[in-house]
Amino acid sequence: MTNEIRLVQFFDLLTDNGKRHCFQNYFVGSKQTFGGASFSFAPFQVNGSVSSLNGDNDQLTVLFPATEYAVRLVEEGEGNRKSLLTLDTRFVNQSGGVSNNGPHEIFVGLGASFSTDTIELRFSSALDAVASNFPANSLTSKNVGILPLESALSLR
């Protein structure tokens, strides 16, 4: 007995110049409505960490075949710099219905690269736990209590 796992990913890219590109990678040759937007079919593959709870600066790559619309994605987005990617992953049931819950991730564009066969868009997670001002507080007696003389802090 085999079980099929059906997944659809909704790729919603907002480029730095304000253009929006919406693709899904499951329903071939048709458009799918998700979150109030219409998503056209495009064959793409997502590599990297799709869901993370720890806030690390995870890397994600999205591979497209080297086609006209994929080249346009990179050209209109100025090389995929400062673009905003919202990626939703959902299960698809046997009748073609899309589940309501699943990972919802937001990524920031880092760049792109071309080859003869593929176009690779590179992203990093929007949050970086190592960056300055995260969580945008400095240690004071108000948020940690009386500051100790040794290294043991109690964050409240």
Domain that holds residue 14: 7-144
Query: What are the structure tokens assigned to 60, written together?
Result: 């994600």
What pLDDT, on a 0 to 100 scale, did the predictor assign at position 148? 58
What pLDDT, on a 0 to 100 scale, did the predictor assign at position 12? 95
Tally of domains in the chain:
1
Domain harbouring 45, CATH code = 2.30.110
**1 belongs to a structural domain:** no
C-beta of residue 85 within 8 angstroms of C-beta of residue 123: yes
What pTM, to 2 d.p., does this model score?
Answer: 0.74
Q: What are phi and psi of 76, to 5 degrees?
A: -70, -25
Q: What are phi and psi of 71, to 5 degrees?
A: -65, -40
**149 belongs to a structural domain:** no
In sequence order, what DSSP letters do the residues of 123-147 get, joined into one string?
EEES--TTSTTSSS----HHHHSSP
What pLDDT, on a 0 to 100 scale, did the predictor assign at position 133? 44
C-beta of residue 115 within 8 angstroms of C-beta of residue 43: no
List, for the chain, all residue ranges whose pLDDT scores fall below the cut of 50. 131-134
CA dist 124 and 30 (Å) reads: 29
CB atoms within 10 A of CB 3: 4
